[in-house]
Amino acid sequence: MFRLMVVLATLAMTGTTLLADRMQTTPRVVDARMLLRSNGKAQELAQVSGFLRTFDLQHDVARDIFGAAPAALELTNVELPGSADATLDLVRSRDVFDPTTQFFTMTKQGKRAFTVRPITSYAGTVRGVPGSRVSLHYSEGDLTGVIEDPSGRRVVLTHDANSPSRAKSTPHMLADENAAYNGNIMSKFLCGNESIVDDPDQLGKLMSVRASKPIEALQDDDMRELKLAVVLREDLDSAMKRRGLTDEQVAQYFMKIVACVSQAYEEEFNTTIFVPYFQKF
């Protein structure tokens, strides 16, 4: 049984701009067909498993778009169930980790630090579909997302682990949730908060309020920040390594999950999540 250990710390009050304010920014318009080029693979499987499309993520296009991290993004010509040319209206989400975050992995020689490049996250809606939700996250060579319609049907964008990556592109799929994650390795993991780290004093310092955090703009309702420490235990790391993921990619995988949750918290509770500490065994 896999186990994901987490610790929640105090809420830190910070003055920040609200999501609604960022939606006023003029968006960068991107044709999804240039970012995700259809490769025609596995189209025949759609009759068996529901909606399923396969693409190659173009690395140069992705780096240009997400490296610039525009405050707002308009992704056009996205093929979704019932629409061949949907538009996603997206705004940049706050980062859930930064250069102060400490990443560790346990080895036979002890705890070793490693670096993790940033992820770029966006949240938004499908244009013309009230009640829809979109969560999109980019890391080098990987674009992950969830698109939910008002009925609760979810379509996910994920790396196609069954196809080899190439120097200039990485295979991806856009599919109904059940089709994309059939037999997902995350289906049996547990959450807990006991025995999280071997140095409680260090964790306490990391989870304290970051006095140096910049204040973007004060609002009548201050944004709250929830700090989250993450520790992966038992076989989870090994299972993901068998899929070819590096230490950095494993960490980015979970940071994208946290980023997705943070987007929901910001919308529902005016609260964001920040991870100061990540450790895996």
pLDDT tens digits for range 139-198:
999 999 999 999 999 999 999 877 888 899 999 999 998 776 654 444 444 455 555 555
pLDDT digits (tens, 9 = 90+) for 200-241: 566 666 666 554 444 444 344 577 999 999 988 766 777 787
Query: Is the model more confident about 274 or about 204?
Result: 274
- pTM here is 0.82
Q: What is the pLDDT of residue 233?
A: 73
User: Cα separation of 124 and 127, whole Å?
Assistant: 9
Q: How many CB atoms lie within 10 A of CB 98?
A: 12
Average pLDDT over residues 89-94: 97
Q: What is the pLDDT of residue 10?
A: 42
User: Cα separation of 260 and 134, whole Å?
Assistant: 10
Integer CA distances (angstroms), 276 to 54, 80, 194, 246, 260, in order: 35, 36, 18, 20, 17
Q: What is the pLDDT of residue 242?
A: 80
Q: What is the pLDDT of residue 217?
A: 42
Query: Is the distance from CB of 24 to CB of 217 less than 8 angstroms?
Result: no
- What is the three-class DSSP state of 34? helix
Q: What is the pLDDT of residue 42?
A: 54
Q: Which of 15-24, 87-96, 192-201 bottoms out in mean pLDDT, i.e. has the lowest?
A: 15-24
Q: What is the pLDDT of residue 199?
A: 61
- What is the three-class DSSP state of 260? helix
Average pLDDT over residues 113-129: 97
In the predicted model, is pLDDT for residue 44 greater than 80?
A: no
User: Cα separation of 132 and 149, whole Å?
Assistant: 4
